[in-house]
Amino acid sequence: MVQTFVAQVSPAREVPGIRSLPHPYWNPYLTGFLLGLVLLLTYAATGRGLGATAAFSAVSAWLVGLVSSAHVEANLVHARYWNEGAPLLSWTLFLLAGAVLGAFVSGWQGRRLALTVERGPAIDDNTRLMLAFAGGFVAAFGAKIAKGCTSGQALTGGSMLNAGSLVFMLAVFASAYALAYFVRKEWL
Amino acid sequence: MLPLSSTIEFSTVASLVIALLLGVGFGFCLERAGFGSARKLTAVFYLYDMAVVKVMFTAIVTAMAGLFVLSALGWMDLSELYIEPTNLAAQALGGLVFGAGFIVGGYCPGTSIAALATGRKDAMAFALGMLVGVTVFAEFTPGIEDWIKQGSLGEMTLPGLTGIGMGWWVLAFVAFLAFAGWGMGRLEQNFARLRPAH
């Protein structure tokens, strides 16, 4: 099936003319296959899969460590990301640094770079930014409780048929589908 | 023998360079799939664009099949791979909470990074919310950490639970993907009216 959906960018920022239009995304099955190869390569090289949340935990441990390293070392959760005083030398943080670069190149080549706020037409930018912040806050708790997010649990664990990862994935979709109706004004 | 980490002791620098390179591929794939767009990501929950499921499911099946083939050829030792211990209650509860954050925030942690790299300000707000969230979790709810540890069931995979080998699961997942692909095409047609006009 041909994908006709293109990234939503504010029309006001668009220079008129066909050249400035974002390119269509790649076929989802092809992109999924490539993403699967990246995951396989990650397993083959490191024995662990992909992840994302640990990078946020590492930055958090670093920031709190700037105030008090003793506090970080005494905290059960922070201590795991302290890395003997070098929390920023986190594997997952470097993975995400690479991801910033890869996504930037892809977005640039696809003419999708745009300083904009993604939202439906029924809400304003500030509401959307507040909801995005709140969503990030809530997702952080979910990922910490489940010991992983879409990358670490769903993709990585799913490909090893990890029972907990499959339960996580089902719960994520169940919850989001159940709530989708109530936040439809944010998106549709 | 794979994984390389089982035979080679990577230096910190080598390990971080590997992370950076894999990350470039990771971020590129996410953005190419459209995961740098919150509206594309949340579209899956309104059924007019199922790309999120198509991409994720295909990625999982690809990696699963690859792991099985590498292991069957004797090139990879699957027992050397890290498997996150299962804790059914924690993963179900965490998943429910995470799903709420996903539909309200519009991103997940990895995709927020792909989106902020292409200038999405809402993705920057999401990532900031994540950072504050993990900090508050660490500072104020260390008790949850104990609860998660107590309920851990150890490594638990479908082949281990059922005694049915990984190869059969790969076949079943490939077959299910083909069927689901057909079904998702139908869904997208039925809900096309929800697709935003601009």
Specify the pLDDT at position B141: 84
pLDDT digits (tens, 9 = 90+) for A100-142: 999 999 999 999 999 999 999 999 999 999 999 999 999 999 9
- Which residues 6+ apart lie within 8 Å of B120 measured at CB? A114, A116, A117, A118, B36, B37, B38
Specify the pLDDT at position B146: 86
Other beta carbons less than 10 A from residue B186's beta carbon: 10
- Record: contact A104-B27, CB cut-off 8 A: yes
Of A44, A23, A24, A41, the closest CA to residue A33 belongs to: A41
Specify the pLDDT at position B197: 76
User: In residues, how long is chain A?
Assistant: 188
Specify the pLDDT at position A18: 53
DSSP letter assigned to residue B44: G
Q: Is the dihedral of CA A186, B133, B86, B170 positive or negative?
A: positive
Alpha helices in A25-52 (DSSP H): 28-46
| pLDDT tens, per residue, chain B with 198 residues | 899 999 999 999 999 999 999 999 999 999 999 999 999 999 999 999 999 999 999 999 999 999 999 999 999 999 999 999 999 999 999 999 999 999 999 999 999 999 999 999 999 999 999 999 999 999 988 788 889 888 899 999 999 999 999 999 999 999 999 999 999 999 999 999 999 876
Q: Which residue of B has its CA nearest to A151?
A: B110
Residue A84: burial class (beta carbons within 10 Å; 0-12, 13-18, 19+): exposed
Classify the complex by whether its ipTM is higher than 0.90, answering yes or no. Answer: yes
Specify the pLDDT at position B198: 61
- Record: contact A47-B58, CB cut-off 8 A: no
Q: Which of B3, B63, B148 sits opposite A145 (nearest CB)?
A: B148
pLDDT digits (tens, 9 = 90+) for A20-36: 799 999 999 999 999 99
Checking if the pLDDT of A91 tops 80, the result is yes
- From chain A, the residues in CB contact with B13 under 8 A are none
Q: Measured between CA atoms, how close is A124 to chain B, in angstroms?
A: 12
Specify the pLDDT at position A58: 98
Cα distance between residue B129 and residue B102, in whole Å: 12
Q: Is the dihedral of CA B2, B5, B9, B15 positive or negative?
A: positive
DSSP letter assigned to residue B162: H
Position of tokens 């995304």?
Answer: A25
Checking if the pLDDT of A4 tops 90, the result is no
Of A182, A56, A172, A185, the closest CA to residue A128 belongs to: A185
Specify the pLDDT at position A19: 57
